Structure 1
Amino acid sequence: MTLSYVVSGFAVGLLVGLTGVGGGSLMTPLLTLLFGIHPSVAVGTDLAFASATKVAGTVAHRVSGTVRWNIVRLLCIGALPAAIITALGLKHFGAVDAGVGQFIRYSIATSVFLTVIALLFKGKLLRWLNAHPEKQLSGAKLTAATILSGVVLGALVTISSIGAGAVGATLLVMLYPRLTPAEVAGTDIAYAVPLTAIAALGHWWLGSIDWNLLAALLLGSVPGITLGSLAARAVPEKFLRGLLAITLSTVAVKLIY
Structure 2
Amino acid sequence: MEFGFIIAGLAVGFIVGMTGVGGGSLMTPILLFFGIHPATAVGTDLLYASITKAGGVLVHHKHRNIDWKITGWLAIGSVPAALVTVAALHQMRAETETINLVIKHSLGIALMLTAVAIVFKQHLLRFAQRHVGVSSDLHGGLQRRWSTIATGAILGVIVTLSSIGAGAIGTIALFLLFPLLPTARLVGTEIAHAVPLTLVAGLGHAGLGNMDWGLLANLLVGSLPGIYLGSQLTGRMPDHILRPVLAGMLVVVGGKLVF
Alpha-carbon distance, 1:83 to partner: 0.5
Give the AA of the match of 1:9: G
* Residue 78 of structure 1: how far off its partner (Å): 1.0
Q: Which of 166, 171, 180 in structure 1 is aligned with 2:182?
A: 180
Secondary structure, in 3 states, of the residue corresponding to 1:31?
A: helix
TM-score by length of 1: 0.82
Alignment partners' CA distance in 2, 1:203 and 1:10: 24
User: Does residue 29 of the first structure (1) align with residue 14 of the second (2)?
Assistant: no
1:125 to partner: Cα distance: 1.5
SS of residue matched to 2:180: coil
**Hey, what does 2:203 align to over in structure 1?**
201
SS at match of 1:144: helix
Partner of 1:210: 212
Match of residue 89 from structure 2: 90
Structure 1: gaps (5+ residues): none
The one-letter code of the counterpart of 2:85 is T
Q: What is the CA-CA distance between 1:63 and the residue it aligns to?
A: 3.9
| Aligned position for 1:14 | 14
The equivalent residue for 2:123 is: 124
Alpha-carbon distance between aligned partners in 2 of 1:63 and 1:235, rounded to the nearest angstrom? 17
Residue identity matched to 2:185: E
- On the 8 A contact 2:100/2:161 being kept in 1, the answer is no
What is the CA–CA distance in structure 2 between the aligned matches of 1:65 and 1:248, rounded to whole Å?
26
- Measured after TM superposition, the shift of residue 248 of structure 1 is 4.2
Deviation at 1:141, TM superposition (A): 1.8
Deviation at 1:209, TM superposition (A): 1.5
* TM-score w.r.t. length of structure 2: 0.82
TM-superposed CA distance for 1:185, in Å, is: 2.5
CA distance 1:79–1:231, change in 2 (3 Å): closer
**Aligned mates of 1:133, 1:115 — CA distance in 2:** 20
Q: State the alpha-carbon separation in 1 of the partners of residues 194 and 212 from structure 2.
A: 21
Deviations for 1:176-234, whole angstroms, at most 9, x for unmatched residues?
22223343233222222111111111111111111111111111223333444567799
1:141 aligns with 2:143: yes
How many residues align? The count is 256
User: 234-243 vs 170-179, which deviates more?
Assistant: 234-243
Structure 1 CA distance for aligned equivalents of residues 235 and 159 of structure 2: 30
Counterpart CA distance in 1 for 2:23 and 2:132 is 33
Indicate the percent of aligned positions where both proteins have the same amino acid: 46
Gaps of 5+ in 2: none
1:133-174 per-position Cα deviation (integer Å, ceiling 9, x unaligned): 549994332122111101111111111112211321221221
Residue 54 of structure 1 corresponds to which residue in structure 2?
53
State the match for 1:99 in structure 2: 98
Match of 1:197, as an amino acid? L
Aligned to 1:171: 173
RMSD: 3.1
- Report if the CA contact (8 A) 1:80-1:194 is conserved: yes
1:175-254 correspondence runs (5 A): 175-228=177-230, 242=244, 245-246=247-248, 248-254=250-256
Residue equivalent to 1:41: 40
Q: Does the alignment pair 1:71 with 2:73?
A: no
Asked if 2 retains the 8 angstrom alpha-carbon contact of 1:39 and 1:104, the reply is no
